[in-house]
Amino acid sequence: MRLTELPLRQPAYVDLIDWSALSASEGQRLREFGLCEGASVEALHHGGLWGKGPIACKVGRMTIAMRRNHAAAVTVRTGPDAAP
């Protein structure tokens, strides 16, 4: 599923990142934040009163915020054998 659909506080792992949906600098910044295939990820908060705001999520040990259009580029998997 996409990171935008991941229920809050459910541990997951990054399966795939559609780098083409991100600009070069956005992709670079996300990599620097530790976002890569296989990284552990957990959605923490959805901002905005009408669900249109950014998403705060934990990537590894870091908490980062990103907009929904960026989060939609990240596919995650959950479940017992999701860990790489």
Partner 1 sequence: MSVLPLVALVGNPNAGKSALFNALTGARQKLGNYPGVTVERKAGRLALADGRPVELVDLPGTYSLNAASPDEQVTRDVVMGRQAGERQPDALVIVVDASNLDNHLRFALELIALGLPTIVALNMVDLATRDGLELDAAVLSRELGVPVIATVAVRKRGLDHLREELGGLLGSVAPEAKAPLPERDFDAVRDEARRIARAAIVRETPSRRLTAAVDRVALHPLFGLLLLLGLLFVMFQAVYAWSEAPIAMIEGLAEAAANSVRDALPDGMLRSFLVDGVINGVGSVVVFLPQILILFFFILMLEATGYMVRAAFLMDGLMARVGLSGRAFIPLLSSFACAIPGIMATRTIADPKDRLTTILIAPLMTCSARLPVYAVIIGAFIPARDVLPGVGLQGFVLFCLYISGIIGAMLVALILRMTVTKGASGGFLMEMPKYQWPRPQDIVLGLWQRAVIFLKRAGTIIFTSTVILWLLLSYPKPPEGSAVSQVDYSIAGRIAGGLNVILEPIGFNRDISLALIPAMAAREVAVSALATVYSIDAGDDEALLERSLGDRLKDQWPLPTALAFLAWFIFAPQCISTIAVTRRETNGWKWPLFMVGYLFVLAYVAAGLTYWTATAAGL
Q: Cα dist. 18→30, 47, 70 in Å?
A: 12, 23, 9
11-19, 55-63, 74-82 -> range binding partner 1 (CB under 8 A): 55-63
Q: What is the DSSP letter of 7?
A: P
SS3 assignment, position 14? strand
Of 12-20, 42-50, 76-84, the segment contacting partner 1 by CB under 8 A is 42-50
Q: Looking at 18, 60, 83, 84, which residue binds partner 1 (CB under 8 A)?
A: 60
Compute how many residues bind partner 1; rule: CB under 8 A: 32
Closest CA to 37 of 64, 10, 75: 75
Q: How far is the CB of 52 from partner 1 (least distance, A)?
A: 5
